Amino acid sequence: MEIVCYNQVNRGDWCQEIYDTQSRNAGRRARLLRRAGYDVRVQALGPQITRVGRVKMTILHITPGTHQDTYDLPPVKIERL
pTM here is: 0.92
User: Residue 30's closest CA among 71, 74, 68, 67?
Assistant: 74
Alpha helices, H only, 23-70: 25-35
Taking only the tens place, the pLDDT of each residue in 27-75 is 999 999 999 999 999 999 999 998 889 999 999 999 999 999 999 999 9
36/64 Cα distance (integer angstroms)? 10
Is 16 within 8 Å of 78 (Cβ atoms)?
Answer: no
Total domains in the chain come to 1
Residue 60 belongs to domain spanning: 4-78
Using pLDDT thresholds of 50, 70 and 90, give the confidence band for residue 6: very high
